[in-house]
Amino acid sequence: MASLVALAALIVFGWSCAEAGTGLVVGRVEGFEGGPADYRVLRDGRPIPVDFFLELFDGDEISVLHDSHRIRLDLYYGDGRLVEWGKRQGPLVVRAGAVPTVGMNFRRWAWSWFAQAREENSISVHVRGAGGVVPLSLPLLSERPGRVIAGTRTLALAWYGGRPPYQVRVYQVDTQSPMLSLEKIGEVRVRSGSIALPQGAYVVEVRDADGSQVSGRFEALLKDQVPADPAELSQSRLPDPVRNTMVAVWLASRGNGAWVLEAYQRVVPLAASYYPAGLLRDTLEQGERPASPPE
């Protein structure tokens, strides 16, 4: 054992080499608030004009001169981190860091045998519990009969859970005549072509591959029975997708969820092109509702 220790000591002290830092690019300025005058970059003691994408060299000192402004740096020679720096943090000297060499690794390995600190690593032994088939449900029509505007229009529907392919049937309560009948649907949502939807009560039935079935009801009402859009929104100069999405949120909050289906009809055409509309669509599909305003 003593001989091995003697060997190790001999090797550690006898072998050492390191790579010296050179004037290398460390990263660059990605952006900053305010103007270039709010920042100072010193290179070898001389100021360098600050600009977007200014390359930073090993040893550059960056100072933020304005109290509330920050500079964003991409120091890609380390672990590629993005750094935001403000005045309170004081001057930042950027360093290229040293590329490990065999000698450096050898020294670290040798000294690691004498290090006092024990490295603690823990693992969690479990399996994931989620999964399986979620029961089929129809959250868009869960609370009470939904309401939509009657007339010739497209009808968008969505359900949750079950196993594809799905079948969907929409029929009028009075006449039992099918308004819509679709099969082999792979997705959990569907949008019909233009269909005639006379005033009246309707039933939606969804059946999945396992034979599970859910149903819900809605009423088609005349346009003048729909709550009028709030004046603040209808008279605003907002772009159409923004205004229509906000109207849909407002509508979904009316009548204790009765107008969710109509709100959904309005937001579906926007979902692909306007991200907040897509979020609202997904949220309504999952059964979540905007808070109702005080009456």
Residues forming contacts to another protein in the complex (CB under 8 A) are 2-4, 6-7, 10-11, 24-25, 28, 30-31, 72, 74, 76-80, 82, 95-102, 105-106, 109, 121, 124, 128, 130-131, 133-134, 160-164, 166, 186-189, 208
Instruction: Select from 50, 44, 82 the least CA-distant residue to 64.
Output: 50
Q: By C-beta, is 22 or 116 nearer to another protein?
A: 22
Nearer of residues 186 and 293 to another protein, judged by Cβ: 186
Nearer to another protein, 179 or 268 (CB): 268
Taking the complex as a whole, the smallest distance from the CB of residue 186 to another protein amounts, in Å, to 5
Supply 171's token pair: 């029929």
CB of 220 to another protein, least distance (A): 27
Q: Which of residues 161 and 241 has its CB atom nearest to another protein in the complex?
A: 161
**Nearest distance, CB of residue 201 and another protein, angstroms:** 29
Cα gap 260→232, rounded to integer Å: 21
How many C-beta neighbours within 10 Å does residue 131 have? 7
Residue 75: partners with Cβ closer than 8 Å, 6 or more residues away: 26, 27, 56, 81, 82, 83, 94
Q: Which is nearer to another protein, 74 or 219 (CB)?
A: 74
Report yes or no: 220 and 148 within 8 Å, Cβ to Cβ.
Answer: yes
Nearest 5°: phi and psi at 29?
A: -80, 120
Helix 260-271 with 275-285: angle, nearest 10 deg: 140
Helix (H, G, I), strand (E, B) or coil at 3: helix
Omega of the bond leading into 165 within 30 degrees of 0 (cis):
yes
Of the candidates 267, 262, 266, 260, which has an alpha carbon nearest to the alpha carbon of residue 289?
A: 260
**CB of 77 or CB of 171, closer to another protein:** 77
Q: Closest by alpha carbon to 33, among 65, 69, 67, 73? A: 69
CA angle 162, 202, 184 (to 5 degrees): 35
CB of 30 to another protein, least distance (A): 6
Specify whether the CB–CB gap between 28 and 55 falls below 8 A. yes
* Least distance (Å) between residue 139 CB and another protein: 12
User: Smallest distance from the beta carbon of 33 to another protein, in angstroms?
Assistant: 14
Cβ at position 123, least distance to another protein in Å: 9
Query: Which residue's CB is nearer to another protein, number 166 or number 250?
Result: 166
Give the whole-angstrom CA distance, residue 77 versus residue 95.
9
Nearest approach in angstroms of CB 140 to another protein is 15
- Given a contact cutoff of 8 angstroms between Cβ atoms, the answer to whether 194 and 152 are in contact is yes
Select 95 or 243, whichever has its Cβ closest to another protein: 95
